[in-house]
Structure 1
């Protein structure tokens, strides 16, 4: 023990579960376990009740008492508090709280003692009861030896704890703000990219319209009267003009011979906005032959069309089929795979809005293939992708550091 400290049983410092004797008509605070905050804050709320309605069948407490949950997992989650601001200074609550009334001490110091890892570990050594209804042994609130520093030192310790907690809260808030900023920055990078503002144009690049006409002599750009607003060398097309798209299907679940085969079969939940390296479910060649499921080649870009996953993306690292809620671009015409991927990523909110506001919104393959794209020259697409990945890499490194 540090100099000036003693070790004493809890019962030397607190009265255990005291009872209140007050007028039945007194307004008081009622506190079920749900109104005691877990963690280190020590906060609580209350419901206002009349004393006669809560004086029986509940624990009693008053302003300044400490309440500690004795049941698992509330005890481990540090559901403990100093009662304060109760109506008329009194209250009652769940009997799963143990009440400790301080005798002469700095109460907040002991609240932090009871929230410490040491105290939680001591309490969980002697759980009683069946799993799911376990409670700590009563001796943790009476006979356990706890530290007793000088009163002034208790106050200094609390001041230092709360100084560090304040700094931690600032860091956590700033981390949340930074994560939001990273997300917004990525969105802005994509917006600049698809509007020709992320990298400079090069007059030596072959214009996109020339490449598309060489691929398809019948190509007609989707002018819409906006061509003059495009960066040099860009043209307007729709996604159906620059790729071959196909949706998938779900083989009948009633036919067991269609499943547990060797052909990967994806659902929208398997999309991860990146390279898809594996999927949990597979179907058979028979299923592909007898359903609308189609094999998409390695490198296909997938987009979800249904429910909460609308706009989620994936790039296949292997040939695979999908269910009907996925659409795949299996061939790229005048557009690079990654430029298409990042373009689709930038359009997620638009696709979600086209899905409607029902309980299960969805978009169709037709909506996707008719969606306009401002297409840069092929060489500029490659420069844009390189710049996006360079900037995203920096942001991802920051994000990863925040998660450590």
Structure 2
């Protein structure tokens, strides 16, 4: 997550990784010369392991190779030791067979059930008690064990917090032999996921073997320092979560304030009225007169008139100097001032080009907060001639038909030419209407509510150019349109700062 305000931009995921990196290098908390060195702890673990093997509580495993210098990815403090997981832990794994699934029984935990540090029991397969008993003879999961995925998304470790009735499949199991802070081991696995993934085999479905897990190297601090590291990491992670939560709350509040400001603006309650302003009715009359003249001169074709606005349709009262209009009524009096993108067959992958000729405006470019310069696709100048009705110029307004429908942007001046994709509509307002006001209007609750109330399709709900032309818009006098935009921009700057 990227957390931003006027003076700060923080990538919290990178910050989490950096904290773990410092922790694993011995740079997060100070060393203490009074701590018993990790070499002594390691010797105690070996002695305890030998005793458990003697008592037949754990099986004797194949001796692990000496750690080479090449296997040590970075330097660690003198009181630490590089160790293999199999040296300090009892490393096992669950079944790799697929038992018969039942409607109820014992949950079989797989990689898909390991979710952000916890076990998700909501989406599990169940197996019989007999099958679970067989699996658990060699891989019973107990409290304070660590389990993590061996297949697919390798890692995603979980420290088991309580006793569960379950069995595991394609999941590694780490059991403590002697005094170790298992929360520290958990952080080690989290930190090492990339390195572990590189040691995996397979194509699309990666897999790391039990042998490679046992031989995997981690840095081991003194036991006392393990505890200090865990405490500091948890303190830092909690601080990051607080930052994220605060940022989300602020974003939510900011979004609500933005909507409220636009709602007040469209009701005529954001800026004072001026009796000297030319009423919107006069402005509308001029647009109609010009349109009639252009039709008479055969410069544009006569279009089917939009339906009269009834009193029942008006969602709220507006000032006397304002007028309710349909979006199509205030489009510029020229051919294709409102047009949608070409049908799919008229602009498909065959028409794309690697050369930067005509930028295709896609849904991903129409952001909630403006133009998004991503997912760049182009067609040719020659093909644009065949779909010229869908050409867009910088400064035009483009409205998304879906995902969600109704959001709008002004096209920036960064490409030679533009053309719409099939999921977008261009809108060029009349020159006597302030374009930034129309952009705010289209992005306001009053406009979006109308769009969202009349969508077609269940899987991918969308609007159409016909429906957009009929949307009701509150139109103030031109001078007031400009005052409204100035006030919205002032408030926006204030909120961001």
After TM superposition, is the score higher than 0.5? yes
Distance in 1, matches of 2:265 and 2:247, equals 27
> What is residue 441 of structure 2 aligned with on the other side?
343
> Any gaps of 5 or more consecutive residues in structure 1?
20-26, 399-404
How big is each residue's C-alpha offset from its partner over 1:199-220, in whole Å with a ceiling of 9 and x where there is no partner? 2222332222223334435999
Q: Is the 8 A contact 2:363 2:424 kept in 1?
A: yes
Which residue of structure 2 lines up, in the alignment, with residue 69 of structure 1? 148
Secondary structure of residue in 1 paired with 2:389: coil
Indicate conservation of the 8 Å contact 2:109/2:169, yes or no: yes
> 2: CA distance between counterparts of 1:146 and 1:326?
55
Is the alpha carbon distance of 1:107 and 1:295 closer, same or farther for their aligned partners in structure 2, counting shifts above 3 Å?
A: closer
Matched, 1:135 2:230: no
Q: 1:373 to 1:149 in 2, by over 3 A?
A: same
**C-alpha distance in 2 between matches for 1:164 and 1:297:** 49
2:113 is equivalent to residue 35 of structure 1: yes
Is 1:327–2:399 an aligned residue pair? no
Contact map agreement 2:340 2:465 (CA 8 A) in 1: no
Equivalent residue, structure 2, for 1:224: 311
Aligned-partner Cα distance in 1 for 2:188–2:347: 60
In 2, are the aligned partners of 1:123 and 1:137 still within 8 Å (CA)?
no
Note closer, same or farther for the CA distance 1:154–1:186 as it changes in structure 2 (3 Å cut).
same
Deviation at 1:268, TM superposition (A): 4.2
Match of 2:403 among 308, 323, 343: 308
Task: Compute the TM-score of the two structures, normalised by the length of structure 1.
Answer: 0.75
Aligned to 1:356: 456
How far the C-alpha of 1:378 sits from its partner, in A, is: 0.8
1:354 alignment partner, SS class: coil
Higher mean displacement: 180-189 or 162-171: 162-171
| Paired residues of 2:271 and 2:487 also in contact (CA < 8 A) | yes
Relative to structure 1, the CA distance from residue 253 to residue 303 in structure 2 (aligned partners, 3 Å threshold; closer, same or farther) is closer
Aligned 8 A contact 1:268 1:312 in 2? no
* Gap change, CA 1:277 and 1:49, over 3 Å in 2: closer
Distance 1:93 1:284, change over 3 A: same
User: Matched residues in 2 for 1:331 and 1:150: separation?
Assistant: 71
The equivalent residue for 1:402 is: none
Alpha-carbon deviation of 1:379? 1.2
- Please give the alpha-carbon distance, in whole angstroms, between the structure 2 residues aligned to 1:181 and 1:325: 30
1:281 aligns with 2:281: no
Q: Which residue of 2 aligns with 1:370?
A: 470
Q: Could you tell me how far apart the structure 2 residues matched to 1:11 and 1:256 are?
A: 53
Distance 1:18 1:248 in 2: 57
Distance 1:256 1:100 in 2: 54
Instruction: Work out whether 1:241 is the aligned partner of 2:320.
Output: no
Deviations 1:167-203 (A, max 9, x none): 3333322222222222222211211111112222223
- Counterpart Cα distance in 2 of 1:296 and 1:28: 60
Alignment of 1:379 onto 2:479: yes
Partner of 1:111: 186
1:79 equivalent in structure 2: 157
CA contact (8 A) 1:36 1:81 kept: no
- 1:52 alignment partner, one of 130, 140, 145: 130
Q: Does 1:391 align with 2:463?
A: no
Q: Secondary structure at the match of 2:108?
A: strand
